[in-house]
Amino acid sequence: MSRPRFVTVLTHARPDETVTALRQLADVATASGATLRLDAEETRKHPKTHPAILGNAELIDDVELCVTLGGDGTILRGLRAYARTSVPVFAVNFGEVGFLATVEPEDLPESFTLALSRDFDLLPLPAICIGPSDAREIAINDISIQRKVGDRVAELSYAIGGEEVGSVRADGLVVATPAGSTGYNLANGGPVMAWGVEGMVVSFIAPHSLSARALVIAPADVLTLHNRSQRALDFSIDGRPAGEIAPGASVDARFVQNVATLAQMHGSSFYRRLREKFGRLSR
């Protein structure tokens, strides 16, 4: 007896935009002998049944693929769900930018046929490990530290390998992976890091200084961020609130290789994607 084939599906918060794509994926799954697994949240968004869809299914690691229908937030949810596993994430862009997506909705359903045939390349993605080296909390894109709304400007310092490198008064700062460098970091004026580059980049949110400059951290170095403010600062992971950093407290950030896997269509290029999503870097 052949082994059952399962595919996890995650979608964004506007189901009317993804219902057609989900039906196309289900039709392809039927033809390929696969079952689509939708957890309770996804089942509430997509209650209509299809023979290839298993609703209210627990999120499990024993699947061939995770397909996301959404923007970068949905893609990051899939990458985080299957971090430290061998399950690749195949992402269809239903968002504004969708920099991590490998195909657009107009490429369907043909791209689904390739996906369920595993006719794609695999791109391993690094992450930022937060806390000690054996910590489970990770960021695929970035972490950010920000002053609370209405509070005074934040005072932050940062050390590398235990040695303080700089301090700054700013609304906050962002630490990004290469995959995340085209997000919040880019909006801060930080450098774009091509996929495959190793290391993290630190950029500042509205710095109150003309000398604050983004800094790329070598992959083996531990970055320590200190809250020198008199009030707690908000802490976010991949754009999601993750708690606070108390006055005088600090957090460590470490670069970790090969944490998640992104499925890419053959011939996909980071630089072509950069041009198509953001336009030419110079004129």
Mean pLDDT of 200-222: 93
Task: Identify whether residues 153 and 269 lie together within a single domain.
Answer: no
Which residues does 116 contact at the CB level (< 8 Å), separation at least 6? Answer: 7, 28, 29, 32, 34, 65
Instruction: Output the pLDDT for position 283.
Output: 45
Task: Identify whether residues 241 and 274 lie together within a single domain.
Answer: no
Instruction: Output the pLDDT for position 108.
Output: 94
Mean pLDDT of 17-28: 96
Given 72, 142, 234, 238, the catalytic residue = 72
Could you read off the pLDDT of 78-111 as tens digits, one per residue?
Answer: 999 999 999 999 999 998 888 899 999 999 999 9
Question: Higher confidence at residue 255 or residue 99?
Answer: 255
- Report whether 122 contacts 265 (CB < 8 A): no
Range of the domain at 56: 5-120+265-278
Task: Identify whether residues 150 and 236 lie together within a single domain.
Answer: yes
Give Cα separations from 84 to 26, 126, 178, 184 (angstroms): 27, 10, 18, 24
> Taking all residues of the chain, what is their mean pLDDT, rounded to a whole number?
92
Inform me whether the pLDDT recorded for 49 exceeds 90.
no
Q: What is the number of domains present in the chain?
A: 2
Domain CATH for 227: 2.60.200.30
Task: Identify whether residues 147 and 252 lie together within a single domain.
Answer: yes
Q: Is residue 283 part of a domain?
A: no
Instruction: Output the pLDDT for position 121.
Output: 94
Task: Identify whether residues 106 and 209 lie together within a single domain.
Answer: no
Task: Identify whether residues 136 and 250 lie together within a single domain.
Answer: yes
Instruction: Output the pLDDT for position 12.
Output: 94
Q: Is residue 48 part of a domain?
A: yes
Q: What is the pTM of this model?
A: 0.90
From CA 38, how far away is CA 47, in angstroms rounded? 10
Residue 72 annotated as catalytic: yes
Q: Is residue 94 part of a domain?
A: yes
From CA 170, how far away is CA 149, in angstroms rounded? 13
Inform me whether the pLDDT recorded for 43 exceeds 60.
yes
Place of tokens 């054996």: 134
